[in-house]
Amino acid sequence: MTTVFMRPAIKSDLKAIATLIDGARQFLKSQGLSQWQSGYPNEETVATDIALNRGYVLVVGSEVAGYTALLAGTDPVYEAITDGQWLSEADDYISIHRFAISDSFRGQKLAQRFMTAILTLCYDKKQFDVRIDTHPGNHPMQSVITGNGFAKRGVVYINEGQEINGERWAYQLILS
């Protein structure tokens, strides 16, 4: 059985992560989604995540199979929520962003395992309020999110490259 685990991303992962994100971007495009089609996230975004110690990779064997960024504290994207509300007004939460699985590993249920590892890390760090968003048409990601216990809390809007006020469904999970 191949070893699967999550660890902090490091500089030498940058090219593999960029390739992974480009593949995810193409997958989203093939689904007819505007998400990530403006060039964000890009290598610079990931390099910043790594420099700020907020980037994480899912490793399968010795290959980078997934990437995410975990942002602690107030996230400007989540300050204005419509069609619902957060369970807590606290600003001490984790936002999961840039969640992606490599094309080479798609369909192997690794997204669920990656999310489980992320939630375990959040719990270990005593960060019990976890939030994430995705495009309303990104059904595979919605399945990963709700399959891990998140509940839809409302709608947030992002400004991502040329996509202004892009609608995203916002989800929250309070770990207990």
Tens-place pLDDT, residues 99-135: 999 999 998 999 999 999 999 999 999 999 999 999 9
From 36, 58, 56, select the one nearest 125 (Cα to Cα): 56
Q: Is the pLDDT of residue 54 over 90?
A: yes
Please answer whether residues 60 and 13 qualify as being in contact, where contact means their C-beta atoms are separated by less than 8 angstroms: no
pLDDT tier at 159 (50, 70, 90 boundaries)?
A: confident
Over pLDDT 90: what percentage of the chain? 85
CA atoms within 13 A of residue 154's CA, in its CB half-sphere: 13
pTM over cut 0.85: yes
pLDDT tier at 89 (50, 70, 90 boundaries)?
A: confident
| Pairing assessment for the beta strands 129-134 and 55-60 based on DSSP bridges | unpaired
51 burial type by CB count under 10 A (0-12 exposed, 13-18 middle, 19+ buried): exposed
